[in-house]
Structure 1
Amino acid sequence: MKYAEEYRDPEIARRLIAGIRQESRKRVRLMEVCGTHTMTIFRSGIRSVLPETIYLLSGPGCPVCVTDQSEIDAFIEIARTGGVTTATFGDLIRVPGTGSSLERERAAGADVRVVYSALDALAMARKHPDRRVVFLGVGFETTAPTIAAAVSAARDGGLSNFSVFSSHKRVMPALASLMEMDIRIDGFLLPGHVSLVIGAEAYRPLFDRHRCPMVIAGFEPGDVLAAIHRLVRQIESGRPDLENAYPRAVTAGGNRKAQALMASVFTPADAVWRGMGRIPESGLALRDGFEAFDARRIFGITLKDAPAPAGCLCGEVITGRSTPPECRLFRKACTPAHPVGPCMVSSEGTCAAYYRYHPETGDTGKDRS
């Protein structure tokens, strides 16, 4: 377990916590952008050991959670099409759309299958040439290269019954949009997985513009605590910086092969984010030349405005404007068994993390500063 056990060492954690407590004086709001960070923070009890000066916000780092209601409805429309096999990651299947879900459509007879990668869907298309297999491409720059590889393989192999509905999102435009919103963010814990692909220096233009402290973090408790410690030092010293606290995985330039593969198949496009609206060039669309594998074009799908479920605060939660306990549906109408919004469905969702790990004390978790 090299590069994992070392970052779970209780003694190292104690030293980091002591350093944070000793140095933190200003009241700050730090946002973890990645859903995996959110789960690590809750599962490890990191919030409970931080001083009262530090408040952690959960940001738009859960790919299923940021998928807009209009996109969920489009996925359901695809699933209802005759002769189509809809392939999807597991978390997406239970997200409620306006009037149904992929899970309900499957129960009603639609051919909806859970896969672990786009390559699984590609293999399915090869095995069943009589079926049109549509893979629902949801995720950030972390998963986009593997989906690009599947599209390239389908084109090179002359596979005509495979397509992708691209709902990918790009992290950088979303962070830039957050900085323009009326949300106080004093520092960012940047996502390790995305950073592995795009590289640490991809954040440089955003940092240079806003001078907001930023630290790329890994996913073990020691990683997160070390990143928080670095952010505290930057803030207390008045010297904001862009730091890479995950050098065992993230380089300055990122994974050039993955970037090239992604760019060969996808091009930046405007995208709609739950809770954030339309953000220019924050999505990925299939390039010209890949029309035969673009499910949006093949099935003539256009996104239709769709309001979020009544009373659901997922959009506010993923932008740090609300906490799950502030939602009147949380733990009542909305539970993991009967989710109303995607933040309760996804394994990286903030509502799911609060439900599983946050005690029912009546405390909303709202920042009082």
Structure 2
Amino acid sequence: MRYVEEFRDPKAAKALIAAIARVADQIGATAANPVRIMEICGGHTHAIFRYGLDKLVHEGIEFIHGPGCPVCVLPMARVDECIEIAERPEVIFATFGDAMRVPGAKGSLLQAKSRGADVRTVYSPLDALELARRNPDREVVFFGLGFETTTPSTALSIQLAAREGLTNFSVFCNHITVPPPIKALLDDPHMKLDGFVGPGHVSMVIGIHPYDFIAEDYGKPLVVAGFEPLDLLQSVLMVLQQIAEGRAEIENQYARVVPEHGNPVSIAAIADVYEPRPSFEWRGLGEIDASGLRIRDAYLDWDAETKFGIGYAAAGGRAHVEEPEGCACGSVMTGRMKPTQCPQFGRGCTPDTPLGALMVSSEGACAAYWTYGGARLIEAAE
């Protein structure tokens, strides 16, 4: 299959692994003093473990798993607010399947559905828009969730609803942006990061220049990467070569898909429908300035927060919900801890009984560890 098989070629992989080892030795990377490279995207985390790249590369390379799962970084209060909306009798609540089992303090959307809430899984916000057309006597609320990757499709759906005058459709907007949490991590004096593997899908929309500050202000290299094993290996090599040469630049390994300046149609739709929130809460990172998006005044008729007076639009402000005791999702998601270092991993927290989103999201780090290691990783940690 073109653009897949050539990026899984074993001979090419061995050559890249050997090149990584040579450069790692050159810069003095060891297991005791590793080069710490953060992959920002949860899809990259799963690819690393699916193909065993963490075991194949030089022992002086340590992958740090960043806040690259949009379901996982939502605080529990936002899940509770979803449930509060979904349990209103007039509402059909539409969501991506990834969010169904994410636990809040009031349970999950799947549990709310079992209690009688009309929660439906959709593949696109356009599916939710069609539900609104077919159910004019119901309020259809779409759980707008994700980084810049999914933001344009939600924006286009709101534009369509406005064009059609479809006022029984609204979006509970939880779209967030990648650059601000990277800055928050780099500003954390306790975080030691030497470079980044940048997100491929997000960069398809925004291009590579929103990351310029990482190199210019912090002197760290970032390489935007694809999702096949050779993509990731080449990206790690490119990061190491920058370090060896004393450079810090933003490079694009995924140029076959990612344009330098992004997708202008998507960027225009986002700019038309959304504006930055003054701040938005991230699990494990707290409130981060201008890291979330909210719906502009021109489209407030399609803003579920305003329509239902919930979340940041609630009277008296939104609530904060503490993580369950012993849950380390925040620490895992910000690279301070590996999943197996969480005392609940595989014990109090499993895919059947999750305490946090990282165990049930398809891009969660804990789900990656469980899927590709499971009990073996628990035994190794004991």
- Above 0.5 in TM-score? yes
Instruction: Give structure 1 regions of 4+ aligned residues with deviation exceeding 3 angstroms.
Output: 361-365
Unaligned runs of 5+ in 2: 312-317
Matched, 1:199 2:214: no
Please report how far the alpha carbon of residue 328 of structure 1 lies from its aligned counterpart in structure 2 after TM superposition. 1.1
Q: What one-letter code is carried by the residue in structure 1 that aligns with 2:346?
A: R
1:24 maps to: 24
Matched, 1:356 2:371: yes
Matched, 1:258 2:266: yes
Q: 2:244 aligns with which of 216, 236, 240?
A: 236
1:169 maps to: 176
Contact 2:214 2:221 in 1 (8 A): no
Please report how far the alpha carbon of residue 204 of structure 1 lies from its aligned counterpart in structure 2 after TM superposition. 1.1
2:298 maps to: 289
Q: 2:284 aligns with which of 262, 268, 275?
A: 275
**Greater shift in the superposed pair: 29-38 or 240-249:** 240-249
User: 2 CA distance for matches of 1:267 and 1:305?
Assistant: 23
Secondary structure of 1:234's match? helix
User: 2 CA distance for matches of 1:207 and 1:301?
Assistant: 39
2:314 maps to: none
User: 2 CA distance for matches of 1:112 and 1:310?
Assistant: 28
- The superposition leaves residues 8-29 of structure 1 with CA deviations (integer Å, 9 ceiling, x where unpaired) of 1111111100111121032210
Please report how far the alpha carbon of residue 5 of structure 1 lies from its aligned counterpart in structure 2 after TM superposition. 1.5
Contact 1:70 1:305 in 2 (8 A): yes
User: 2 CA distance for matches of 1:231 and 1:63?
Assistant: 25
TM-score normalised according to structure 1 size: 0.97
Secondary structure of 1:97's match? coil
**Greater shift in the superposed pair: 275-284 or 299-308:** 299-308
1:60-71 correspondence to structure 2 within 5 Å: 60-71=67-78
Aligned pair in 2 of structure 1 residues 304, 361: CA closer, same or farther (>3 Å)?
A: closer
1:9-20 correspondence to structure 2 within 5 Å: 9-20=9-20
Contact 2:346 2:378 in 1 (8 A): no
Contact 1:67 1:138 in 2 (8 A): no
Please report how far the alpha carbon of residue 364 of structure 1 lies from its aligned counterpart in structure 2 after TM superposition. 4.3
2:253 maps to: 245
Secondary structure of 1:104's match? helix
Q: 1:223 aligns with which of 225, 231, 245?
A: 231
Q: What one-letter code is carried by the residue in structure 1 that aligns with 2:238?
A: R
Please report how far the alpha carbon of residue 42 of structure 1 lies from its aligned counterpart in structure 2 after TM superposition. 0.4
Secondary structure of 1:328's match? coil
How many residues in Structure 1 have an aligned counterpart in Structure 2? 365
1:109-128 correspondence to structure 2 within 5 Å: 109-128=116-135
Please report how far the alpha carbon of residue 362 of structure 1 lies from its aligned counterpart in structure 2 after TM superposition. 3.7
Q: 2:334 aligns with which of 319, 328, 349?
A: 319
Q: What one-letter code is carried by the residue in structure 2 that aligns with 1:299?
A: F
RMSD: 1.2
Secondary structure of 1:63's match? coil
Matched, 1:331 2:346: yes
Please report how far the alpha carbon of residue 237 of structure 1 lies from its aligned counterpart in structure 2 after TM superposition. 2.1
2:355 maps to: 340
